[in-house]
Amino acid sequence: MIIFKSINKLNKEVNFKASIGFVPTMGSLHKGHISLVKNCQKTCDKTLVSIFINPSQFNRKTDYKNYPRTLDKDIKILKKLKVDYVLVPNIKEIYSRNTPRKININKKYKVLCGKYRPGHFEGVLAVINKFLKDLKVKKIFLGEKDFQQYFLIKNFVKKRFKTKVVLCKTIRMSSSLPYSSRNKLLDDKSIRIAQKFTKKIIDVFKNIKKNTNKTYLLQSIRSNSNIKIEYLELRNKNNLSPIYNKKNLKLFVCFYIKKVRLIDNF
């Protein structure tokens, strides 16, 4: 495994004519990230993983400051996985003089996290744009847990790059709470509370798909839970609109456990 701290050096030493897959991360790696890497390794000759905590996608300074940083552990995980290349760039290189820190998104997509985290996805697209301009990768692998992020990146990439965007399924703890870097900010008791809440939502979504009263079921979660819910919405997975049918229906949720913000979708 070769670790690069510079995009320029990586470009000089890596042959991008090969089939190289890209897994962008902010570190604090978990089983979800490991699944992305393994999916990449199955279909690409070489795998490149980036570790970069992108300041422009945090809409609160405290959130950026508190984001878990475990670089040494991350490197050990990637070595064990036999990843070919790891990129750990610095902020100055990513956001050089001519690189935008934000890329605008359409107003109709400012829903869900786009509504409650203003500027977040604009920062995500800016760093993805930088990476794909400089790294001629064939595929980029993203997790379904961050479905809105995947949706926006896919739409952005198909208009500007030849890179294929690959969606990988959410990896969950005991078939409920998804693995997330933010889980590391929670104690065991909080994890159990989050798991129980997630299982309740999964059960409700099963009933919703059976044509049980959607409004009543969603309201029952909101009114009978002592957990702070930021949003709990049914949307069309093809365009994120509130107009959906059985085939394109998706349930999105965001909630807080001890001030830690968690998202999910089903």
Domains of the chain: 2-168 (3.40.50.620), 181-265 (3.30.1300.10)
* Cα distance between residue 81 and residue 68, in whole Å: 21
SS3 103: coil
What is the average pLDDT across 221-232?
A: 90
What is the average pLDDT across 123-130?
A: 98
> What is the CA angle 43-46-48, rounded to 5?
110
Encoding tokens for residue 22?
A: 């890209």
> Which of the pair, 221 or 237, is modelled with greater confidence?
237
Residue 222's pLDDT is what? 87
Largest CA distance in the chain: 58
The mean pLDDT of the chain is 95
* Cα distance between residue 14 and residue 4, in whole Å: 10
Residue 225's pLDDT is what? 83
Backbone angles phi, psi at 169, to 5 degrees: -65, 155
Burial 176-199 (b: 16+ CB within 10 A, else e): bbbbbbbbebbeeeeeebbbebbe
pLDDT at residue 97 is higher than 90: no
| pLDDT grade for 187, boundaries at 50, 70 and 90 | very high
What is the average pLDDT across 151-175?
A: 96
Sheet architecture: strand order including 20-25: 2-4, 85-87, 46-51, 20-25, 139-143, 164-168
Catalytic residue among 33, 46, 138, 261: 33
Residue 184's pLDDT is what? 95
Alpha carbons within 13 A on the beta-carbon side of 25: 30
What is the average pLDDT across 30-42?
A: 98
* Cα distance between residue 196 and residue 123, in whole Å: 32
Residue 216's pLDDT is what? 85
Q: Is 38 exposed, middle or buried (0-12, 13-18, 19+ CB in 10 A)?
A: middle
Dump strand ranges (E) for the chain: 2-4, 20-25, 46-51, 85-87, 139-143, 164-168, 228-236, 249-257, 260-265
Residue 55's pLDDT is what? 96
Alpha carbons within 13 A on the beta-carbon side of 154: 17
pLDDT at residue 224 is higher than 80: no
| pLDDT grade for 119, boundaries at 50, 70 and 90 | very high
Lowest mean pLDDT among 14-18, 107-111, 153-157, 210-214: 210-214
What is the average pLDDT across 109-118?
A: 98
Instruction: Examine the residue annotation and report whether 33 is marked as an active-site residue of this protein.
Output: yes
Residue 211's pLDDT is what? 80
